[in-house]
Amino acid sequence: MTHDLTDAPDLVTLFHERVAAHPDAEAVAFVADPSDLDGGVLRWSYARLDQEARARAAWLREHLPSGARVLLLHPSGLEFVAALWGCLYAGMIAVPAPLPGGHRHHRRRLAAIARDSGAAAVLTTEAHLTEVGEWVADLPDASLLVVAGDLLGADGPREWRPVPLDRSTIAVLQYTSGSTGDPKGVVLQHEQILFNTLVGAGALGFGGRVGGWLPQYHDMGLFSQIMWPLLLGGSTVLMAPTAFIRRPVQWLRMIDAFGIGFSFAPNFAFDLCTRKVRDQDLVGLDLSRWQVAGCGSEPIDARVLGAFSDRFAAAGLDPRAVTACYGMAETAVYISVDVAGPLKTRRVDLEALARGEFTPAVADRAGRDLVGCGRPDASYDTRVVDPETGEVLPEGRLGEIWLRGRSVSPGYWRRDDNADVFDATTADGDGGYLRTGDLGVFSDGELYVHGRLKDLIIVHGRNIYPQDIEHELRAQHPELGRAGVVFAGPGAASGDDGSSVVVTHEVAGVAADRLPALAAEIRHTVGREFGIAVATVALVKPGTVLRTTSGKVRRSAMRDLFHEGRLVSLHQDPRQGLADPATPG
């Protein structure tokens, strides 16, 4: 008997059937040298990936009990894919995470993940054994087993035997981009991954060759780039994120060279391509086979996606391929997408938006273009809810997005407050909802996502959305860089009553003597367009604004840096609390 996503008893059974059906077909490739898309590519067939996974699974079964948590600390590449499937083969719980690196924040966060998950072992590569070993040695309880997966076959094959699995078996702990001391591991069972692959791939018309540069430990990279194509019997092509950041055109060339039909990225990646890819790079570039260029980072900027479509139309990119999608780790990634036509945007009145109303903008009033993310999949019960009262809101009213359905995680790993997030009840007594923390609104059945509830700023009873201020500042002040963060005061101004905001923004190529005037103009723009005071303007160097692995600005972290006096500024007005530029922030 063969299975599909609807009836497969578990992930491993389905994958084994893919291996048996086409053992010699290419499963996964890694572009090790983006400058050489012929010789600089490493390729594994389904049979080779199965062999590598078995070697890791056999070692894990020899050393750990079923259900043990295993940290996967790898650079981008084939080894991570083998480690992931090795954990699943062994009945272990995979905990994908970034390598420790040299930054203290990353090392502390990784230590918190290891502690929270109760990890018993680390799978890594021979090239990173020293780095990972030194990080483990610094842990308070340095008892983690560390092994290089690429060395496990050196002593000959180990025997692997299948272990009992079912759809309720936990497969992955997907840690979200939380604070350093309080990371949250999203529990994902075989059930959520199989079902979400079914509905997500169906909505996108997913198939054939997939690829991208997204971090493999991030939910969008883990599922859309790795799990989905392999569970469907397709193939995937991977590239390191650093290769994309250094030369964005490498991503586009990879899509062309391998005939990739589906590739996803956050908002900033499309913007980076538009700005950094040169005219001469377009010569010979063919993007006509790119069926879905999905943008999955919120809030999605309509101008960015429009500019990307226009820029690469000359390379054959179909503007209908550029689409917005919505998802999160708590649902094994996919919630909604619209692939039925051109990108849907609505220009709405900013003042009405501050009242939670989705009202079309008129010519003489400030407006903002919002991007539709399609209709949530029919497998979800989706509500927009007043986060304070639990009242279910009608179309046209902005509130928190609540979800219920088979893709939703059963909760965070070993948390006492799971019921607050995963079993929310509306004011009329309808329960079992996931509180996403995302703000959104329905209009003509289309879901428009507009930021995070925790980032909402309330000034004199009005709702202010920080991304609206950031967007308007960049539109009116071309000297500003591509990243900025606005958050609630009080700032450095004495006597501030809290009814104000702090603006931090990157600037590039602006003379020092121009910065005070630019700061004053920023204050004036915010006051004129939004009717609120600015407590402090902090202008910073490019690269200062912190981002998550998916490219979202880390507002909470930036707010903490500012209020702790650790934000290194080129110019800060007023100067109270200004960090010394010579002192690392």
> Distance between CA 463 and CA 480 in Å, rounded?
25
CB 267 within 8 Å of CB 547: no
Tell me the average pLDDT of the chain.
90
Q: Is the pLDDT of residue 493 over 90?
A: no
> Distance between CA 355 and CA 337 in Å, rounded?
27
Phi-psi region of 212 (alpha: psi -120 to 50; beta: other; left: phi over 0): left
CB 76 within 8 Å of CB 240: yes
Q: Is the pLDDT of residue 234 over 90?
A: yes
Question: What's the predicted TM-score (pTM) here?
Answer: 0.89
pLDDT tens digits along 90-117:
999 999 999 998 777 788 889 999 999 9
What are 434's two structure tokens?
């996931």
> Distance between CA 490 and CA 502 in Å, rounded?
8
CA angle at 100 for the pair 95 and 103, rounded to the nearest 5°: 140
Q: Is the pLDDT of residue 9 over 90?
A: yes
Mean pLDDT score, 162-189: 87
> Distance between CA 585 and CA 582 in Å, rounded?
9
pLDDT tens digits along 155-173:
555 788 899 999 999 999 9
CB 503 within 8 Å of CB 535: no
CA neighbor of 475 nearest in space, from 352, 360, 347: 347
pLDDT tens digits along 409-429:
999 999 999 999 999 999 999
Domains of the chain: 11-239 (3.40.50.12780), 340-454 (2.30.38.10), 457-573 (3.30.300.30)
Mean pLDDT score, 219-246: 96
Lowest mean pLDDT among 52-61, 113-122, 159-168, 543-552: 543-552
E strands in 422-568: 434-443, 446-452, 457-459, 462-464, 480-488, 500-507, 533-540
Q: Is the pLDDT of residue 492 over 50?
A: no
| H or E element in which residue 519 lies | helix 515-530
